[in-house]
């Protein structure tokens, strides 16, 4: 059996509040295979965002081990962690965080330039992604001229720009109306499945969770498979 693209073993994360210690993650275990899309559900404040940040090497856990595409990441320094994020991970957040002064196309070009692509290669890839998103005619529009759903589609395209192996999404449709959320989520699933990504997507929406391959629930610092 092949190594999972994302593996979390015994992940712990706590925060101090005065003299008290808040245990947010208490020995989390999770493996996600290539091509598998996992829904992460749980009540607000349960630590879903913290878990995604730890899995994405944006926060260091207080215990446990993270392996990305078979590489142990626990002892990596900050530069190496940044390199792993750039080469293997794509992130989508609830709010799109697009650069307002850049066009939709340029927002997708920027992370590719940072990763070392030529401008010509980056623009070609960005144009292809926008076409797949149904936004080819909006390529030169700045975020302020795009609808909420269009902005989030650009954010998804940006997350996929560097062909990551793993996608981590935190309430990617949380700011959208139900109809737009369903449409944007359908595009996200189609692209993730087409690319064979391992994906973990946090959502409060049970209908969206049901469209994924597997559902895990985070509550009281513990992760459990949902029936």
Task: Give me the pLDDT at residue 199, please.
Answer: 94
For 116-148, write each residue's pLDDT tens digit. 889 999 999 999 999 988 899 999 999 999 998
Task: Give me the pLDDT at residue 99, please.
Answer: 92
Task: Give me the pLDDT at residue 115, please.
Answer: 86
pTM of the shown model: 0.89
Task: Give me the pLDDT at residue 176, please.
Answer: 79
Measured CA to CA in angstroms, residue 45 lies from 50, 51, 92, 104 at distances of 10, 11, 19, 32
177 contact partners, CB below 8 Å, separation of at least 6: none
Q: Model confidence at 215, in pLDDT bands (50, 70, 90)?
A: very high
214 contact partners, CB below 8 Å, separation of at least 6: 36, 37, 38, 39, 225
Is the pLDDT assigned to residue 156 strictly greater than 70? yes
Please state, in angstroms and rounded to a whole number, the distance separating the CA atoms of residues 192 and 68: 17
Domains defined along the chain, listed by start: 6-225 (3.40.50.300)
Cα of first residue to Cα of last residue in the chain, in angstroms, is 24
Looking at per-residue pLDDT, the higher value among 96 and 32 belongs to: 32
For 73-108, write each residue's pLDDT tens digit. 988 899 999 999 988 999 988 777 899 999 999 999
Task: Provide φ and ψ at 27, rounded to 5°.
Answer: 80, 55
Which range, of 8-12, 27-31, 91-95, 202-206, averages the lowest pLDDT?
A: 91-95
Is the pLDDT assigned to residue 192 strictly greater than 90? no
For 55-66, write each residue's pLDDT tens digit. 999 999 999 999
Is the pLDDT assigned to residue 1 strictly greater than 70? no
Is the pLDDT assigned to residue 20 strictly greater than 80? yes
Percent of the chain with pLDDT over 70: 99
Task: Give me the pLDDT at residue 227, please.
Answer: 66
């Amino acid at each position: 059996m092949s190594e999972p693209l994302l593996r979390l073993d015994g992940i712990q994360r706590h925060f101090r509040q005065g003299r008290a210690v808040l245990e947010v993650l208490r020995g989390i275990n999770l493996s996600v295979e290539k091509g598998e899309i996992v829904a992460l559900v749980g009540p607000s404040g349960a630590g879903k965002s913290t878990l995604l940040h730890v899995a994405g090497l944006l926060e260091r856990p207080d215990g446990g081990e993270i392996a990305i595409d078979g590489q142990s990441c626990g002892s990596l320094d900050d530069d190496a962690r940044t390199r792993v994020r750039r080469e293997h991970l794509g992130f989508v957040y609830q709010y799109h965080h697009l650069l307002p002064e850049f066009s939709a196309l340029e927002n997708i070009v920027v992370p590719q330039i940072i990763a070392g692509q030529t401008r010509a290669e980056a623009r070609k890839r960005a144009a292809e992604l926008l076409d797949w998103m149904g936004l080819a005619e909006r390529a030169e529009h700045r975020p302020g001229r795009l609808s909420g759903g269009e902005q989030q589609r650009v954010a998804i395209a940006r997350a996929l720009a560097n062909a990551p192996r793993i996608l981590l999404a935190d309430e990617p449709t949380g700011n959208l109306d139900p109809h737009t959320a369903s449409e944007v989520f359908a595009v996200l699933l189609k692209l993730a499945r087409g690319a064979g990504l391992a994906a973990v997507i946090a959502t409060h929406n049970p209908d969206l969770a049901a469209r994924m391959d597997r559902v895990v629930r985070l509550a009281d610092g513990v992760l459990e498979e949902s029936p």
